[in-house]
Amino acid sequence: MSDALAPVGVFGGTFDPVHYGHLRSALELVEHLGLEHLRLMPCAQHPHAKTPMSPAAHRAAMVELAVRDEPRLRCDTRELQRSGTSYTVLSLEELRAELGERRPLCLVMGGDAIAHIHSWHRWEAFLELAHIVVLARPGWHIPGAGEVADWLRDHRLADAGGLTRAPAGGILVEALRPLAISSTEIRAMLARGESPRYLLPEQVLDYIQEHKLYS
C-alpha cells in the first residue's frame, strides 16, 4: 500500500450555475476517498441538454471563482477547448494520457446521471479508463433492475480502498451529506426575482448579478 498513488477525481456537469450541492459533495469526496485533487469539469455542449445553457465561458468562470480558495478542488476547462459535443469518454482518454497508466482516476457522477449512462457515447469504455463514483443524491435512486443495474452489480466495489488497488474498473456508490440544491431551482428563483443567497457561494452570486445571468 505504501506506494499506492492517491486517486484523482473528475466531476463533470453543466454547472449552470455551480452551487453548494456540487461543492460540498466535491470536498467530502476529496476527504472520504483520499483524492489527490478533484476537478470540476464544465461541459461545452451537453449531449443530452434539455434546456439552453448559459455560455460555457460564464459557467467555467463561476466554477473558477467557487474553487479559488480550495486547492484540492480545481476547474478543468478541457471540454470548452474542444470543438463539438462534450463526450465524457474523450475527456477520460485525455486525462488517462496525462496521468499515466498507474494513477487511479475516478469519474464522479450523480445518481441521476448514472441511470441514463447507457445512452452516453462509448459508455462501456469508461471503466477501462477510470473508476466511477456514484453520488447518491436526494430524490434519486440507483437503478435496481436492467442493463445499468447489472453493470453496477458486476463492477461494484465494497469500499473506497478498491480505488487505490487498481487505476480503473470499479464502481463505488457514495452517500454524502444530502443537500437538496439544484441549478434548475436557482435559475427559477432568479427568474422570479427571488434571492438564491446561501445556496451558492457569494462570489458566484455576485458574478451572476454582474453579468445579468438567468434574470
Answer whether 62's CB lies under 8 Å from 18's CB.
yes
Residue 22 lies near ligand ATP (rule: CB under 6 A): yes
Cβ closer to ligand ATP: 102 or 116?
116
Q: Is residue 135 close enough to count as binding ligand ATP by CB under 6 A?
A: yes
Separation between Cα atoms, residue 130 and residue 161, nearest integer Å? 15
Strands 37-42 and 131-136: unpaired
Phi, psi of 53 (to 5 degrees): -110, 160
Is 84 in a helix, a strand, or coil? Answer: coil
What is the spatial distance between Cα 60 and Cα 63, in angstroms, rounded to a whole number? 5
Q: Does 13 bind ligand ATP (CB under 6 A)?
A: yes
Residue 95, interface with ligand ATP (CB under 6 A)? no
Give buried/exposed letters for 170-190 (b at 16+ CB in 10 A, else e). bbbebebeebebbbeebbeeb
- Is 105 a binding residue for ligand ATP by CB under 6 A? The answer is no
Residue 119 found at the interface with ligand ATP (CB under 6 A) = no
Cα separations in angstroms, 23 against 18, 20, 162, 179: 8, 5, 24, 10
Select the residue interacting with ligand ATP from 33, 56, 168, 181 (CB under 6 A): 181
**Which of the stretches 14-22, 142-150, 162-170, 189-197 binds ligand ATP when contact is defined by CB under 6 A?**
14-22
Per CB under 6 A, 190 contacts ligand ATP = no
Piece in contact with ligand ATP (CB under 6 A), picked from 18-26, 71-79, 141-149, 153-161: 18-26
By CB under 6 A, the count of residues binding ligand ATP is: 18
Smallest gap, in angstroms, from Cβ of residue 136 to ligand ATP? 8
Picking from 28, 34, 29, the residue whose alpha carbon sits closest to that of residue 104 is 34
Tell me which stretch binds ligand ATP (CB under 6 A): 145-153, 175-183, 193-201, 204-212: 175-183
Interacting residue ranges for ligand ATP, rule: CB under 6 A: 13-16, 21-22, 25, 109-110, 112-113, 135, 137, 179, 181-184
